[in-house]
Amino acid sequence: MRVRQVSVFLENKSGRLYEVCKCLAEADVNIRALAIAETADYGVLRLIVNDPDLAVKTMTENEFTVSETEVIAVEVPDRPGGLAGVLAPLYEANVNIEYLYCFVEKSGESAIVVFRVEQIDRAIQALQSSGFTVMREEDVYRI
């Protein structure tokens, strides 16, 4: 139920994002989803990849600052109100969301929301009891 997200520290400098992606490409790592959080001076690149171990290894070898975080991925229907629907049980269960990002599945029928929350177990429980599908780790890497 917990998905490993790989995060990279990036200085706000032209070419850095390209260098990360190039390094992952050379190691044959496939990026499934990504989001960037930014400040004036630096950014944090958050990645869901097909092979987190390989991604961490190759980026560390290339001297990037990398960390791993556990997130959850939830399938929601790709229609108006889809995201609101999934947020309701989290709100009711008093789960704090640090950040989230979404992407649409290839089939186009559902969207996937990646959550980073403070209370991960409580979040999973709240989502499941409201009938949402919290995706299994290997399914997310395979998307």
What residue ranges bind another protein (CB under 8 A)? 5, 7, 9-11, 16, 37, 39, 41-42, 44, 46, 60, 63-67, 69, 98-99, 116
Least separation in angstroms between residue 79's CB and another protein is 30
* Closest CB to another protein among residues 5, 58: 5
- H helix or E strand, kind and range, residue 79: none
Least separation in angstroms between residue 60's CB and another protein is 8
CB distance 123 to 90 below 8 Å: yes
* Closest CB to another protein among residues 65, 94: 65
**Would you give the DSSP letter of residue 41?**
S
CB distance 55 to 47 below 8 Å: yes
Q: What is the DSSP string of 97-124?
A: EEEEEEEE-TTSSEEEEEEEES-HHHHH
Cα dihedral 61, 62, 65, 70, rounded to 10, equals -60
* Span between the terminal Cα atoms of the chain, in Å: 15
* Closest CB to another protein among residues 20, 90: 20
Least separation in angstroms between residue 38's CB and another protein is 8
Least separation in angstroms between residue 129's CB and another protein is 27
Round the CA-based radius of gyration of the chain to a whole number and report it. 16
* Closest CB to another protein among residues 67, 94: 67
* Closest CB to another protein among residues 44, 120: 44
